[in-house]
A and B are shown apart, each in its own frame.
Chain A
Amino acid sequence: MEHFDQLYQALNEVVGYIYPNEIELRWSILIVLYPYITGLVAGAFILASLNRVFEIKALKPTYEISLLAALAFLLVATMPLIFHLGHPERFYELMMTPHSSSAMAIFGFVYLWYLMVVLLLEIWFDYRRDFVVWSQESKGLKKFLYKVLTLGSNDISPKALKLDDKLGYIITVVGIPSAFLLHGYVGFIFGSVKANPWWSSVMMPVIFLLSAMVSGIALILVTYMVINYFRKQKIDMLCLDSIGKYLFYTIIIDFTLESLDQIHRIYEAEESFDIISLLISGKLFFTMSIMQVLAGTLIPLFILGFFQFYKPKEKIRKTAYLISGILVLVGIFFMRWNVVIGGQLFSKSFYGFTSYKIGLIGGEGMLAAGVWMVVPILILVFLLWLLPPWKKQHSGG
């Protein structure tokens, strides 16, 4: 069996001593994607909420893009999780018979709350007027789709639109803590594992949340630029600068909290300290020091920080924003990697390390992981086709 061949190879690469059951690294790339994708959702939504609740006008062009991107990624968020199960066909048991003391069991409920109550409702109220208008203007399949999406509610009188706006606002206000809950909770799944000193930290939910905001904002920055490139539209530089500013601030807070967590570990230097310092300087050196900290944090921080004091020509800024956005997205991916994979590389005996080699094919290989990253982008393209923000009439709301 190929699976056993991999394990025999891993057995040869064991350094020091690990418990014999630890040779197989249980949570693979798919579980890296799960907090990554969920984080993109929470972050994109929080950016949209900033816009709406705090009335940050400069971010207006990204409002609908943020909501649709959040939806596109949220629809896929559970997929890597389900496909990673030993018995994917039993996943519904998590909803049917959740075990009340398990941190993992309420994920389904948090997820559904967020999808059904927050995101779908907010988008629906935001687009309801357009559904009605578009269902009258369009033809064929599109007309039918819009008609269905109105859910039979065709009143677009000013009074009705005002109510839409009010309800949408309330949902956004409810949505902000929900987004915090969604991703803080994902952090708790890891942070509450006392057996694993690399995970077990009260900071974990907060760090996950802040890094989610960082990645979500970067996602919208990049998405906004790409959309404008394909639509051959001029980019609103005021908007781009504002996103850059928020990205800069959230990276600072995120980096500060993560550093605090590490400094705390180093200073307390508990039983697990020796193995963790070997982990960071060895197996995680590339993914953590180079990819997460240098490429994903320090370089974007420097570029974005520089722009807060001096703004070079538009063309340079655009390029720099795009590069920073992509670097941040890559950096946060490696942050998730370092948490999920890093936490399983060392033995809970603290006497040694196992290894992880990601395969190309198979359900948990690189290709499968790539598919789960491409699918939300395709969904987003579809959503942008069906619900183009640029065709909305903003007079009513």
Chain B
Amino acid sequence: MELNKKNKKTRRDFLKLSSAIAGSVAFYSMFKPIESVANRKTDVTEREHWYGFGFDIEKCIGCGLCAKACKIENDVPREPFFFRTWVEQYTIKNGHIIKDENVIVESPNGGIDGFTQSVPDKEIFKSFFVPKTCNHCYKAPCVQVCPVGATFETPDGVVLVDDSYCVGCGYCIQACPYGARYLHPEKKTADKCTFCYHRLKKGLAPACVDVCPTGARMYGDLDDKEGPLVQFIKNHTCRVLKPHLNTKPKLFYNALNEEVR
């Protein structure tokens, strides 16, 4: 009997301990994540800049220098599966313009080697080039889904990846509606446009903006009402990509056709 008594106590202690552990695990797992799921924005009232891009489709000639310069500047793997920026050629054929099958999109090697037109002139209704890159969204899905917080938004509005912290799960790649991310084949971490943050901090323009021969790409401070980017948005009819997803991109396009996705 005495043995039994002693053991009973042991078991009660065990139960107490396990329920304490269970309780704290439950508390931590249920409560902590919920508090900021909906509202994850950090306070950015004291920022100095808030960067954004402005791309003018009417000026883009599809030379692909931007994509090439980006690969060189940022040491992006040269294989045609990894791009921080690329150019798409849209060709809309004669016929019903609202039908998807009349829209031909091409981007061989991201446009780095230039483009050839595969549709005969006679069949072309219209054609244009669309430079693409990370939209540095204000409500970035990639930032939201990163399980360890390796993807983050800097106070000046640039979405970056901390590759010393990224676990390489690929959730951000799935969550990006714009295909702006890839898994770096050597680093095994998520990789994307950094807005050339290393240049930005020295007062230099991002490489793609710097090399664009026609000024189709520009960047600027969205907080600066007199600055070039805000003036560009003011003086043109600008749109963002996939506005219905409410990601609030900070990349504004002039003359963006509705076929562009």
Q: Residue B32 contacts which of A21, A91, A100, A112 (CB distance < 8 angstroms)?
A: A100
Contacts of A110 in B (CB 8 A): 29
B81-A23 in contact (CB<8A): yes
Instruction: Check if B188 is an interface residue, CB within 8 A of chain A.
Output: yes
B189-A97 in contact (CB<8A): no
Instruction: Check if B174 is an interface residue, CB within 8 A of chain A.
Output: yes
Q: Residue A101 contacts which of B25, B37, B82 (CB distance < 8 angstroms)?
A: B37
B25-A109 in contact (CB<8A): yes
Instruction: Check if A116 is an interface residue, CB within 8 A of chain B.
Output: yes
Residue tally, chain A, CB below 8 Å to B: 64
Encode contact with B along A191-220: 1 for CB under 8 Å, 0 otherwise.
001111000000000000000000000000
19 A-B pairs besides A24-B182, A84-B170, A348-B177 with CB distance below 8 A are A1-B185, A7-B81, A21-B173, A23-B81, A85-B167, A86-B187, A87-B189, A90-B165, A100-B34, A102-B147, A102-B171, A104-B169, A109-B29, A153-B10, A155-B8, A194-B175, A349-B105, A349-B179, A351-B103
Q: How far is the CA of A344 from the CA of B188 in the complex (A)?
A: 19
Knowing A85-B167, A86-B183 are in contact, say whether A102-B22 is a contact too (CB < 8 A): no
Instruction: Check if B249 is an interface residue, CB within 8 A of chain A.
Output: no
**Could you pull out 24 A-B pairs where Cβ atoms are within 8 angstroms?**
A4-B81, A17-B88, A17-B104, A19-B86, A19-B179, A20-B107, A22-B179, A26-B173, A86-B170, A87-B167, A93-B148, A98-B148, A100-B32, A100-B33, A101-B37, A104-B147, A105-B33, A113-B22, A116-B22, A193-B141, A193-B174, A194-B175, A196-B174, A351-B261
Q: Residue B81 contacts which of A20, A97, A194 (CB distance < 8 angstroms)?
A: A20
Instruction: Check if A160 is an interface residue, CB within 8 A of chain B.
Output: yes
Contacts of A107 in B (CB 8 A): 147
Interface size class of B (residues with CB under 8 A): 35 or more
B148-A94 in contact (CB<8A): yes
Most buried by A among B7, B40, B189: B7
Knowing A99-B146, A349-B105 are in contact, say whether A113-B81 is a contact too (CB < 8 A): no
A21-B169 in contact (CB<8A): no
Instruction: Check if A11 is an interface residue, CB within 8 A of chain B.
Output: yes
Question: Nearest-CB distance from B11 to chain A (Å)?
Answer: 4
Nearest opposing residue in chain B for A151, CB measure: B14
Question: Nearest-CB distance from B248 to chain A (Å)?
Answer: 13
Report whether over half of chain B's contact residues are helix, strand or loop; otherwise say mixed: mixed
Question: Nearest-CB distance from A78 to chain B (Å)?
Answer: 12
Contacts of B175 in A (CB 8 A): 193-195
Q: How far is the CA of A252 from the CA of B185 in the complex (A)?
A: 44
Q: Residue A349 contacts which of B40, B146, B181, B261 (CB distance < 8 angstroms)?
A: B261
Most buried by A among B21, B174, B179: B174
Question: Nearest-CB distance from B90 to chain A (Å)?
Answer: 9
Instruction: Check if B114 is an interface residue, CB within 8 A of chain A.
Output: no
A17-B179 in contact (CB<8A): no
A100-B147 in contact (CB<8A): no
Instruction: Check if A3 is an interface residue, CB within 8 A of chain B.
Output: yes
Q: Which of B79-137 contact A (CB under 8 A)?
A: 79-83, 86, 88, 100, 103-107, 109-110, 132
Q: Which of B138-176 contact A (CB under 8 A)?
A: 141, 143-149, 165-171, 173-176
Seen from chain B, the residues whose Cβ lies within 8 Å of a Cβ on chain A are 3-4, 7-8, 10-11, 14-15, 18, 21-22, 25-26, 28-29, 32-37, 40, 79-83, 86, 88, 100, 103-107, 109-110, 132, 141, 143-149, 165-171, 173-183, 185, 187-189, 245, 261
Q: How far is the CA of A110 from the CA of B82 in the complex (A)?
A: 35
Encode contact with B along A179-199: 1 for CB under 8 Å, 0 otherwise.
000000000010001111000
Q: How far is the CA of A8 from the CA of B36 in the complex (A)?
A: 42
A93-B165 in contact (CB<8A): yes
A86-B37 in contact (CB<8A): no
B83-A20 in contact (CB<8A): yes
Contacts of B189 in A (CB 8 A): 86-87
Contacts of B26 in A (CB 8 A): 113, 117
A155-B7 in contact (CB<8A): yes
Seen from chain A, the residues whose Cβ lies within 8 Å of a Cβ on chain B are 1, 3-4, 7, 11, 16-24, 26-27, 84-87, 90-91, 93-94, 97-107, 109-110, 112-113, 116-117, 121, 151-155, 157, 160, 167, 189, 193-196, 274, 343-344, 347-352
Q: Residue B110 contacts which of A20, A87, A189, A347 (CB distance < 8 angstroms)?
A: A20
Q: How far is the CA of A272 from the CA of B144 in the complex (A)?
A: 23
Contacts of B35 in A (CB 8 A): 100
Q: How far is the CA of A99 from the CA of B28 in the complex (A)?
A: 13
Nearest opposing residue in chain A for B111, CB measure: A20
Contacts of A22 in B (CB 8 A): 179
A155-B11 in contact (CB<8A): yes
A98-B174 in contact (CB<8A): no
Knowing A19-B179, A20-B107, A26-B174 are in contact, say whether A194-B29 is a contact too (CB < 8 A): no
Question: Nearest-CB distance from B38 to chain A (Å)?
Answer: 8
Q: How far is the CA of A152 from the CA of B107 in the complex (A)?
A: 68
- Ranked 10 nearest A-B pairs via Cβ: A86-B168, A19-B179, A109-B29, A86-B188, A195-B177, A17-B105, A99-B149, A104-B147, A105-B147, A153-B11
B174-A27 in contact (CB<8A): yes
B245-A195 in contact (CB<8A): yes
Q: How far is the CA of A32 from the CA of B125 in the complex (A)?
A: 43
Contacts of A97 in B (CB 8 A): 148-149
B33-A348 in contact (CB<8A): no
Q: How far is the CA of A195 from the CA of B181 in the complex (A)?
A: 13
Question: Nearest-CB distance from A20 to chain B (Å)?
Answer: 5
Q: How far is the CA of A3 from the CA of B141 in the complex (A)?
A: 28
A91-B33 in contact (CB<8A): no
Question: Nearest-CB distance from B246 to chain A (Å)?
Answer: 8
Nearest opposing residue in chain A for B37, CB measure: A101
Question: Nearest-CB distance from B69 to chain A (Å)?
Answer: 16
B81-A101 in contact (CB<8A): no
Knowing A93-B148, A152-B7 are in contact, say whether A104-B141 is a contact too (CB < 8 A): no
Contacts of A26 in B (CB 8 A): 170, 173-174, 183
